[in-house]
Amino acid sequence: MAKTKSIAGILGEARRHLPRAFGSILAQGSKTGLRFGDRLFRRLTLAFAFSIVALTLLIAYELYRNSVLSIGKFGWGFFWSSTWDPVFQNFGALPFLYGTLVTSFVALAISTPVGLGVAIFLSELAPRWLSDPIAFLVELLAAIPSVLYGLIGIFVLVPIMRSLGAPYGVGMLTAGVLLAVMIVPFITSISREVLMAVPQAQREAALSLGATKWEMTWMAVLPYARSGIVGAIFLALARALGETMAVTMVIGNRPEIKLSFLEPGYTMAAVIANEFTEATYDLYINALVEVGLFLFAVTIVVNALARLLILSVAKKVEVRE
Amino acid sequence: MSQTLLSAVLLLFLAAIGTAADAQTFINGAGATFPYPVYSKWFDEYNKLHPDVQINYQSIGSGGGIRQVGELTVDFGATDSPMTDEQLEKAKTKLLHFPTVLGAVVPTYNIPGLTGELRFTGEILSGILLGEIKRWNDPGIAKVNPGIKLPTGNIVVAHRSDGSGTTYVWTDYLSKLSKTWEQKVGRGTSVNWPVGLGGKGNEGVSALVKQTPYSVGYVELIYAEHTKLPHGAVQNREGVFVKATLKAISAAAAGAATNMPADFRVSITNPPGKEAYPIASFTWLLIPEKISDPKKGDALAGFLKWMLKDGQKHASDLLYAPLPKEVIAMEEKAIRKIRY
């Protein structure tokens, strides 16, 4: 016991001295200009950062290059035609867009409150003996391969949905619910990390002003962690938009636009995965790649819109405060 | 001392690897998933008999097989539906089709409380899949199933969502039997289904059928047999209702063998013959006519000869129907076309 204390003491002392030491190094650096190692480090990390940009552009270009035939033949009509007929070579992607958006937003609508709730419980309310094992289980859920979720979907979720009144059991709502289960771990584990990084002083300040636990969480902790939580939700949304295997197993794979979420649908990622291996002529493959290009664009647009939406809401809250 | 011994052993070992690599012929193939179990069995057995020939096969799907062998990135391809003229033209080299085994597609269904086995005709199947026949107690179905009490339930159709040779055979049969089907839907590895739910793979379709009351779908015979799915008899060209068995499938091939084209690109759905099951198909290997590496050419030709004789025996163990004698004789001649 005494020994640990002394180690803590040493660490504390080191921490007190360190900023001074760093300060002097930085001061030296600015006097003599950046040292070689620093410059190398800077360039290297810059190169890494730009490789992401290059990769994104390369993916977009390759997707475009491999879908020229279909773009040339169908033009903009590709995006609002709902016929997908490989036999008569007529392709339109609207039903896939619809299915992708519906399932992703159903998933997000369910998983955001649940995932965030779990994260708040784990970081703010649960005793340590409970929060650690639950956090571990949540991360375990994230590691389950999606085909397993698909199987659970087929054998457990689909019969439940049918008994609850869905005409076929499979359908867009079923896929959305399954996706929600799959993305909750993402929202929870990242949000929990972010919430735990909120300085204790925030909480103590709120509590000292007489705030309840709820008020403390809502007014002092969540606003502080806002950007991190938003990031967690985006990551979950991205996963939902691109999820393939589990969705195709429970959505019914029917390229039609139906208003009822209980009806079967189809998603962009699912049609690519389903039909790519047996796509036997060039226009067909090009049309599938164009669906991929479309998905790529949709992901960017949806992310941008969601970011704008959340930023504007966040601003309003701040103004009111 | 021990060091010299060690290096000597090492040298010997390296030499052994070197000679082994020299003597071995590696052949790569890719394509159809349907015959994968029998192909991997064959390549394994052939390797036991000829340790110097190692054949590696990846079941990436017929479309991928056709593309890859056309680009010559693999030594041979495999497909469940014969290549079209357009595809043959696009390939970088002239490709030969070699039928290897036969498979069949069966209608499977789930009707609660049904006693007895259902019979189907092409008219009934295309009617159901077009969405024209909506209920099980349709007079058309009742007419060919005397003595079976059919329920009123709405029919739910299940089909494959992934592109597949199984779908090709199924839709090829429907196209031959129904003009409406041919004009509205047509034949292909994926089609624009008028009605129904899509399941991924045989297992996806069978899961949909098993779970959805009053449903009907189609799966490969092998899959239906392994998983004990009920499957109905189908009326053939001579008017006989035939259940899919290995014998009935081989009979279908024999019926088609009489006017087999020289390039083996033939559809045998709805063939003549009283015993023939009408929804069956060959599956093919795609071999380049000109093989630049003589060792590989020799090995491939050797394998084809073995496959047509001894290999066929392994086929029925795995529930694939073996080729009829007439077709084997034709193929043995065709092997001579391969130049290397």
Q: Which domains does chain B have, with CATH numbers?
A: 3-101+283-337 (3.40.190.10), 104-258 (3.40.190.10)
Q: What angle do CA A129, A135, A137 make, to 5 degrees?
A: 105
pLDDT, chain A, mean? 87
A165 Ramachandran zone, left/alpha/beta (phi>0; psi -120 to 50): left
Of B63, B156, B193, the CB nearest to A280: B63
Contacts of B283 in chain A (CB under 8 A): none
Is the pLDDT reported for residue B89 higher than 70?
A: yes
The pLDDT tens digits for A69-90 are 999 999 999 998 999 999 999 9
Contact B280, B132 (CB under 8 A): no
Cβ contacts of B137 within 8 Å, gap of 6 or more: B150, B151, B152
Contacts of B161 in chain A (CB under 8 A): 248, 253, 270, 274
Contacts of A274 in chain B (CB under 8 A): 161-163, 190, 198, 200
Is the pLDDT reported for residue A99 higher than 80?
A: yes
The pLDDT tens digits for B265-311 are 999 999 999 999 999 999 999 999 999 899 999 999 999 999 999 99
**What separation, in Å, do the N-terminal and C-terminal C-alpha atoms of chain B show?**
51
Interface test with A, best of B200, B283, B286 (most A CBs within 10 A): B200
User: How many CB atoms neighbour CB B284 within 10 A?
Assistant: 28
A194 by Cβ neighbours in 10 Å (0-12 / 13-18 / 19+) ranks as buried
pLDDT, chain B, mean? 89
Beta bridge partners of B109: B216
What is the pLDDT at residue A2? 40
Q: Which has the closest alpha carbon to B266: B327, B318, B220, B312?
A: B327
Query: What part of B 20-39 touches A (C-beta under 8 Å)?
Result: none
> What is the C-alpha separation between B24 and B295, in angstroms, rounded?
10
B86 to A281: CB separation less than 8 angstroms, yes or no: yes
Query: What part of B 117-156 touches A (C-beta under 8 Å)?
Result: 156
Contacts of B191 in chain A (CB under 8 A): 85-87
B211 to A85: CB separation less than 8 angstroms, yes or no: no
Contacts of B200 in chain A (CB under 8 A): 248-249, 253, 274
Is the pLDDT reported for residue A1 higher than 50?
A: no
Answer positive or negative: Cα dihedral of A208, A209, A213, A217. Answer: negative
3-class secondary-structure state, position B250: helix
What is the pLDDT at residue B199? 93
Cβ contacts of B259 within 8 Å, gap of 6 or more: none
Q: What are phi and psi of B281, to 5 degrees?
A: -155, 150
A192 by Cβ neighbours in 10 Å (0-12 / 13-18 / 19+) ranks as buried
3-class secondary-structure state, position B258: coil
Q: Which residues of A touch B (CB under 8 A)?
A: 83-88, 154-155, 158-159, 162, 168-170, 248-249, 252-255, 264, 266, 270, 273-281
Contacts of A277 in chain B (CB under 8 A): 60-61, 63-64, 162-163
Q: What angle do CA B291, B295, B298 make, to 5 degrees?
A: 75
The pLDDT tens digits for B54-88 are 999 998 888 889 989 999 999 999 999 899 898 89
Query: Looking at CA atoms only, how far is residue B60 from chain A in angstroms?
Result: 7
Contacts of A162 in chain B (CB under 8 A): 211-212
Query: Looking at CA atoms only, how far is residue B224 from chain A in angstroms?
Result: 19
> What is the C-alpha separation between B300 and B294, in angstroms, rounded?
10
Of B165, B189, B207, the CB nearest to A154: B207
Is the pLDDT reported for residue B116 higher than 90?
A: no
Query: Looking at CA atoms only, how far is residue A160 from chain B in angstroms?
Result: 11
pLDDT grade for A32, boundaries at 50, 70 and 90: low
Is the pLDDT reported for residue A314 higher than 60?
A: yes
For helices A282-320 and A226-242, angle between their N-to-C axes, nearest 10 degrees: 160
Asked if B208 has any chain A CB less than 8 Å from its own CB, the reply is: yes
For helices A94-120 and A282-320, angle between their N-to-C axes, nearest 10 degrees: 40
Is the pLDDT reported for residue A7 higher than 50?
A: no
3-class secondary-structure state, position B12: helix
Cβ contacts of B298 within 8 Å, gap of 6 or more: B340
Query: Looking at CA atoms only, how far is residue A290 from chain B in angstroms?
Result: 18
Is the pLDDT reported for residue A225 higher than 50?
A: yes
Is the pLDDT reported for residue B201 higher than 70?
A: yes
Of B162, B197, B204, the CB nearest to A168: B197
Cβ contacts of A305 within 8 Å, gap of 6 or more: none
Range A91-111 average pLDDT:
95
> What is the C-alpha separation between A194 and A192, in angstroms, rounded?
5
DSSP state of B309: I
What is the pLDDT at residue A318? 56
Interface test with B, best of A278, A281, A282 (most B CBs within 10 A): A278
The pLDDT tens digits for B243-252 are 999 999 999 9
Is the pLDDT reported for residue B15 higher than 80?
A: no
> What is the C-alpha separation between A52 and A300, in angstroms, rounded?
15
Range A231-259 average pLDDT:
92
**CATH no. for A74-320:** 1.10.3720.10
Provide long-range contacts, Cβ within 8 A and 24+ apart, for A166-170.
Answer: A166/A262, A167/A262, A167/A263, A168/A252, A168/A264, A168/B156, A168/B197, A168/B212, A169/B211, A169/B212, A170/A250, A170/A251, A170/A252, A170/A264, A170/B197, A170/B208
What is the pLDDT at residue A8? 47
HEC string of chain A equals CHHHHHHHHHHHHHHHHHHHHHHHHHHHHHHHCCCHHHHHHHHHHHHHHHHHHHHHHHHHHHHHHCCHHHHHHHCCHHHHCCCEECCCCEECCHHHHHHHHHHHHHHHHHHHHHHHHHHHHHHHHCCHHHHHHHHHHHHHHHCCCHHHHHHHHHHHHHHHHHHCCCCCCCCHHHHHHHHHHHHHHHHHHHHHHHHHCCCHHHHHHHHHCCCCHHHHHHHHHCCCCHHHHHHHHHHHHHHHHHCCHHHHHHCCCCCCCCCCCCCCCCCHHHHHHHHCCCCCCHHHHHHHHHHHHHHHHHHHHHHHHHHHHHHHHHHHHHHHC
> What is the C-alpha separation between B222 and B246, in angstroms, rounded?
10
Is the pLDDT reported for residue A29 higher than 70?
A: no
DSSP state of B283: E
Q: Which has the closest alpha carbon to B326: B240, B258, B231, B242?
A: B258
The pLDDT tens digits for A252-288 are 999 999 999 999 999 999 999 999 888 888 899 999 9
Cβ contacts of B334 within 8 Å, gap of 6 or more: B96, B98, B262, B264
The pLDDT tens digits for B136-178 are 999 999 999 998 999 998 999 999 999 888 999 999 999 999 9
> What is the C-alpha separation between A178 and A146, in angstroms, rounded?
10
Strands B76-79 and B280-288: antiparallel
Provide long-range contacts, Cβ within 8 A and 24+ apart, for A192-195.
Answer: A192/A118, A192/A119, A192/A122, A192/A123, A192/A135, A192/A138, A193/A228, A194/A225, A194/A228, A194/A229, A194/A231, A194/A232, A195/A119, A195/A120, A195/A123, A195/A124, A195/A221, A195/A222, A195/A225, A195/A229
Query: What part of B 166-195 touches A (C-beta under 8 Å)?
Result: 185-193
What is the pLDDT at residue A280? 80
What is the pLDDT at residue B192? 94
Q: Which has the closest alpha carbon to B53: B289, B300, B284, B308?
A: B300
